[in-house]
Structure 1
């Protein structure tokens, strides 16, 4: 079941290869292991994608691909998983990461109001930046590992359940 579900949502490998940023990897994209979907490659890709989803940088997909290629995990899933943080989910996810960082650093969580200006960015780096970056790092590691082991578990349970169902079907007398 996880394999069928994942295949429905990940982009086609030709679409990934044509992306101008991913195309920078050239012949490295010809490795067949980057396109196969099995428990090891899916869990690794999911963990990498979730890890980089928590990085507050604009080129998360490229970073995810750069790590997925040498680790030989599923590239489309790794790149697609980064979109957990999209323009709609970024504010609550990054605010949560900021609160985690403030809690870890034992600093009070400051109230702030976002402004689309360079001055606000510079000022925010000084005031909320350390807590935000620590929170992003901790959340990236925690949720990346949770995604990796969680998908391993879900995949294993799904395969086990399928085995049990096949076993029961074979034991039933055919009419």
Structure 2
């Protein structure tokens, strides 16, 4: 199904937009659907989707070039964080980081909605030093741990899902073969 949507290797070679990347963009791992490239793409996308708050897709694409992950899967996997999930992700990341470094969680932060937390976070950015010493350290630590965990879970989850699909396809073919031989 995905092969109909994805560009062909020849169209990628002829693309003027991608010519600046040179021979690296012609690596088959970036475009083919196979278990290793897809698993790497999911891991890269999950990492940058949970770690980097801006320019996630370009960051994942650049990492895919060097780590030989599927470029399209990496780009789509960054969408684990989106405008609907930013507030819960950052709130949980802050709470996780604060609990690990022993930073006090402000009482008012425990009772705020996710939107209020994201607005409070945005208002803290105006004073960079206050942000780094206050909410920044726990937030960055929590985001890093969540990104590493998400990448690990994404990688092994994609590998296990791929394995499940291969085994179920083999079982269906074997079952069909047995039925043909019985008749």
Go from structure 1 to structure 2 and tell me whether the alpha carbon gap of 1:97 and 1:113 turns closer, same or farther (over 3 Å shift).
Answer: closer
Q: CA contact under 8 A between 1:48 and 1:68: conserved in structure 2?
A: yes
- The answer for the alignment partner of 1:145 in structure 2 is 152
The answer on 1:58 being equivalent to 2:58 is no
Higher helix share: 2
C-alpha contact 1:12 1:76 (8 A) present in aligned 2: no
Within 5 A, what are the aligned runs for 1:110-121? 110=106, 111=109, 114-115=119-120, 117=123, 120=126
Q: CA deviation at 1:62?
A: 1.7
CA contact 2:61–2:75 (8 Å) conserved in 1: yes
Determine which of 89, 94, 117 is the counterpart of 1:93. 89
Higher relative contact order (CA 8 A, sep 6+): 1
**Residues 57-115 of structure 1: per-residue CA shift (max 9 Å, x gap):** 31221221111112222101111211211112111111111111111112232225625
Structure 1 residue 31: Cα displacement: 2.4
Please state if 1:38 is matched with 2:34: yes
1:134 paired residue number: 141
SS of match in other structure, 1:36 = coil
Answer yes or no: is 1:107 the counterpart of 2:112: no
Aligned Cα RMSD in Å? 2.9
Question: For 2:140 and 2:25, how far apart are their aligned partners in 1?
Answer: 32
Task: Provide the residue aligned with 2:176 in structure 1.
Answer: 169
Scaled by the length of structure 2, what TM-score is found? Answer: 0.77
User: Is there any run of 5+ residues in structure 1 with no aligned partner, and where?
Assistant: none
Gaps in structure 2 of 5+ consecutive residues: 110-116
Structure 1 residues 121 and 154, CA gap change in structure 2 (3 angstroms): farther
Q: Distance in 1 between matches of 2:76 and 2:68?
A: 16
- 1:114–1:124 CA distance, 2 compared to 1 (3 A): farther
Q: How many residues were matched structurally?
A: 167
Q: Is the 8 A contact 1:49 1:79 kept in 2?
A: yes
**Which is further off, 105-114 or 38-47?**
105-114
**Could you tell me the TM-score, scaled by structure 1's length?**
0.81
Task: State how far apart, in whole Å, the 2-side matches of 1:144 and 1:167 are.
Answer: 34
